[in-house]
Amino acid sequence: MFAAFQSMSGVINQGQDSARIVFNMLQVLNGGDAALFCCTLWSIWKQRNNKVWNEVIDTQRFVFERAKTLPDDWKTTKDFRQPTSSMQRPVQYPRWQKPMEGRFKCNIDASFSKHLNRVGIGTCIRDDSSSFVLARTEWFSPLCDVHVGEALGLLSALEWVHLLQLEPINFELDAKRAVDSF
């Protein structure tokens, strides 16, 4: 640890701008120390955002404790997600399921185009035998956050289904934050 501190002192005392200091630090630190350095920078940045956007001020101790635990948490998560056997299992994606008898199902998804500065909404309705009923797309501007675009897609689908007088109907989105908020 003392060697890492000496390396850091040498880089900081060269009188460079902060970006150059960060990149030079990453050059002289070993893997573990570089990871801790990056996590510390991230934790400070997160504290800054918490203060600006949420009016929450964390103590310095909390900021540095968060930075110290982050590499271990990341490693634990990474190790947990890796298969334990040498044989890789194929990835299983969720499959679409038809609604219960007598119901419709409306799937909604949003797409985001930075280039066009707009959000696209796709909506598809199927019946209880999985047969296609109706679909539509629409676009709106300006570009917004993903959870907002997905929520606007749900709102648009609700209005459309109401106009169509389709009942009863299930709605399905793949945006967890929008679903949880709803």
- 3 state SS of 123: strand
**Mean pLDDT, residues 144-161 taken together:** 92
10, two tokens:
């040498």
Res. 178: pLDDT tops 90: no
**CA 136/CA 121 separation, integer angstroms:** 8
Crossing angle of helices 60-81 and 31-54, rounded to 10°: 120
**CA 98/CA 84 separation, integer angstroms:** 34
**CA 178/CA 35 separation, integer angstroms:** 33
**Mean pLDDT, residues 69-85 taken together:** 70
Burial 172-181 (b: 16+ CB within 10 A, else e): bbebeebeee
Residue with tokens 């797309």: 137
Res. 121: pLDDT tops 80: yes
Q: How confident is the model at residue 62 (pLDDT cuts 50, 70, 90)?
A: confident
- Domain ranges in the chain are 2-81, 104-181
pLDDT in tens, 84-111: 555 666 766 678 889 999 999 999 999 9
**CA 178/CA 69 separation, integer angstroms:** 30
Average pLDDT in the chain: 82
pLDDT in tens, 153-171: 999 999 999 999 988 999 9
CATH topology of domain 104-181: Nucleotidyltransferase; domain 5 (3.30.420)
Q: How confident is the model at residue 24 (pLDDT cuts 50, 70, 90)?
A: confident
Beta bridge partners of 125: 106, 134
pTM of the model: 0.50
